[in-house]
Structure 1
Amino acid sequence: MIYENIIITKESKTATITINRPESLNALNAKTIKELSYSLDELASDNEIRVIILTGGGEKSFVAGADIKEFSDFNQEKAEELARNGQNILFNKIENLSKPVIAAVNGFALGGGLELAMSCHIRYASENARLGLPEVTLGLIPGYGGTQRLPKLVGKGIANEMIFSAKMINAQKAKEIGLVNEVYPIADLLTQTKELAATIANNSPMAISKAIHATNLSDSDKGFETEIKYFGELFELDDKKEGVSAFIEKRKPNF
C-alpha cells in the first residue's frame, strides 16, 4: 500500500508510525484508519521489528479526534458500522497485537485520538499534551472503546467525570491518574519513547507476546488460567532456554 496519511520509519528493532495530517491536527478519517490497520499488519509480520511506536506529526497534536465531517449525516446503522469497523480493524487490533505498541502522545489527544492512545499498551506524553473525550458536547458518546478502556485505566469515577464533563486534562494530571506512564518535554518525548522501545526489544519477543495476551485478560475470569497455560508453554520454547542459559552463564541473552 502507498501511504498518504502516515509515515513509517524503522530504527534497529523499532518501527515508528507517524500520523501525518497536519492540516487537520492529524484527525482520524477512514483512509487514515485503513492505512494504520494495514501498516500494523505489515509490521506484525516483519521479523526484524519487535516494538512499534505510534505518534503524531508536528508538536501540536497526536490525534485531535475523529474527522467529524465524514460521519455528520450518518444514520444509526451507518454509525454502528463505523464504530464496529474501526474497533475491528484498528483499536482492537492494536490492543491485541503480538508486539508492544507505545503511544508517544505529542499534544492534543481528543476523542478518537485518546481512544487510539488508550488502545496502545503503554503511553508516554509530552508536557503540552491535552487529553479528553469531548463526544457528549456533540450529543454522542465515545465509539472507539472510550467508555470501556478509560475506566480500566483510571477507575470508573474519574472516567465518568472525564466523559460526562468532556473536560480536557493536562499531561501531569494524566500521569497522576494513571492514564499515561511518563511525561517529558516535547523535544525529549520521542527519544525517551525510543529508549523504552529499545529496552523492550532486547527481551524475549515470545514472552512479551504471551504477556500481552495474558494481561489483556486480567479483568476476565480466564486471566489466571491463561497465565498458567502460557507460563508452561514458554518452557518448551527456545527463548526460555536461551534466557535461563544466559542467566546461569552470567551473560546477556540473545533472543
Structure 2
Amino acid sequence: MTAPYVKQNIENGIATIEFFHPAHNSLPGDILAKLANTITEAGENEAVKVIVLKSGGERTFCAGASFKELININDAETGKVFFSGFANVINAMRKCPKFIIGRIQGKTVGGGVGVASATDYCMATKFAAIKLSELNIGIGPFVVGPAVERKLGLSGMSQIAIDANSFYDAEWARQKGLYASVHESTEALDVAVQAFAENLCKYNPEAMKEMKKIMWRGTEDWDTLLAERAVISGKLVLSEFTKETLKRFK
C-alpha cells in the first residue's frame, strides 16, 4: 500500500501539487499541514506561474476529514486543532498570489468539497460528484462552508449541506459554478488541465496576481472566521450524537 504523501513538481512554470492517502484521499492533520505549506511555498516561488492541485489515485478526489483522527478527538482543543487544518489549507489557497487550478478526477466529500471550492478554476470528470456529509455525523460544514458558499451561492451550499446523505453529480456542480468544465475521462481531463495551465503561463503574472486579489475581495476576515468555525466543529465532534455515529463508522 502506498504511504500518504504531498508532493510537488515544477515544470515550465507549472507547479503540480499532489496529495494522496490510501483511505480514499482522506486528509489527516499532518497531510493538511503539509498541503498548506506546499501551497504557500509555491505561491512564493518565482519560478511558478500557475498551480495545479490534484490528488493521487483514479477514483476519489478527496474523502474529506480522516475518520480515524475524528474518532480519536477527546477534547475541544484537539478538535479545534484538527479542523484548523482545513482552515489553513483554504486560507493558504486564498492568499496564494498564483491562480490555482483544481483537477477533480472523482467523487469528493466534505472537506474535499471545501478544497475544490477554494481553487480559482476547477475542472472535473463526469465522475466527480460532490457531497457535504458533515451533518450526517453530527457536525456541519462550518470550516469549509464559506469557501463552498462563495462558489455555489448560499442556496446551493445550503441544499447540499442539509441533504447530507446525497451525492450531487458533476453536471449539477458545473451548473452551480463549482466546475468550469466536465470531461468524459481522467485522460481527457488531464489534457484539458495541461493545455489550460500552459495558456495561463503566457499571461502577465502581475495581472493574474491583481485579478486574484479582486476575486477574493471580501474574504479578508477568513483567518479569524475559519478559526472560529474550527472551534464550533471541535466542540460538536465531542457531542454524544457524533461519538455514537462515529463508532458505527468504525
TM class by shorter chain equals 0.7 to 0.9
- Cα deviation code 1:199-246 (max 9, x no counterpart): 1111111111111111111689xxxxxxxxxxxxxxxxxxxxxxxxxx
Number of the residue aligned with 2:127 = 128
What amino acid does structure 1 have at the position aligned with 2:8? I
After TM superposition, list the pairs within 5 Å mapping 1:76-225 onto structure 2.
76-87=76-87, 89-145=88-144, 147-166=145-164, 167-185=166-184, 186-217=186-217
Checking the alignment, whether the CA contact within 8 Å between 1:136 and 1:164 is kept in structure 2 is yes
Distance in 1 separating the partners of 2:31 and 2:54? 13
Q: Is the 8 A contact 2:131 2:167 kept in 1?
A: yes
The aligned amino acid for 1:50 is: K
* CA displacement at 1:132 relative to structure 2: 1.4
Amino acid paired to 1:206: E
Matched to 2:39, the amino acid is L
Aligned partner of 2:33: which letter? K
Alignment check: 8 A CA contact 1:52 1:102 kept: yes
- Separation in 2 of the partners of 1:170 and 1:128? 8
**Distance in 2 (alpha carbons) for counterparts of 1:122 and 1:208:** 13
- Equivalent-residue separation in structure 2 for 1:41 and 1:181 (angstroms): 24
Aligned position for 2:233: none
- List per-residue Cα deviations over 1:11-61 (Å, max 9, x = no partner): 21101111122x211111111112212212321222111111111112101
Q: Does 1:24 align with 2:31?
A: no
The residue that corresponds to 2:15 in the other structure is: 15
Identity between Structure 1 and Structure 2 (%):
21
Q: In structure 2, how many angstroms separate the alpha carbons of the residues matched to 1:30 and 1:136?
A: 21
Secondary structure of the residue that 2:71 maps to in structure 1?
Answer: coil
Match in the other structure for 1:223? none
Q: 1:30 to 1:11 in 2, by over 3 A?
A: same
Take 1:129 and 1:18, find their aligned partners in 2: how far apart are those partners? Answer: 17
Encode CA deviations 1:65-103: one digit per residue, 9 max, x unaligned: 11021122423333233223431x311110221011111
Is the CA contact 1:19–1:26 (under 8 Å) kept in the aligned structure 2? Answer: yes
Contact 2:32 2:85 in 1 (8 A): no
SS in 2 for 1:9: strand
What is the number of residues matched between the two proteins? 215
Say which structure, 1 or 2, has more relative contact order (CA 8 Å, 6+ apart).
2
TM-score (norm 1): 0.79
What is the distance in 2 between the residues matched to 1:128 and 1:61? 9
Question: Deviations along 1:115-152, whole A, 9 cap, x unmatched?
Answer: 1111111110111111111001000111432x212222
Kindly provide the CA deviation profile for residues 130-186 of structure 1, in whole angstroms up to 9, marking residues without a partner as x.
Answer: 1111001000111432x2122222222221110001121111111111121100122
Listed as ranges, the gaps of 5+ residues in structure 1 are 221-255
- For the structure 1 residues 70 and 219, does the alpha-carbon distance in structure 2 shift closer, same or farther, using more than 3 Å as the test? closer
Alpha-carbon distance between aligned partners in 2 of 1:57 and 1:96, rounded to the nearest angstrom: 24
Larger radius of gyration: 1
CA distance in 1, matches of 2:195, 2:117: 20
Does the CA-based 8 Å contact 2:174-2:182 persist in structure 1?
yes
Question: In structure 2, what is the Cα distance between the partners aligned to 1:39 and 1:71?
Answer: 24
- Which residue number in structure 2 is paired with residue 227 of structure 1? none
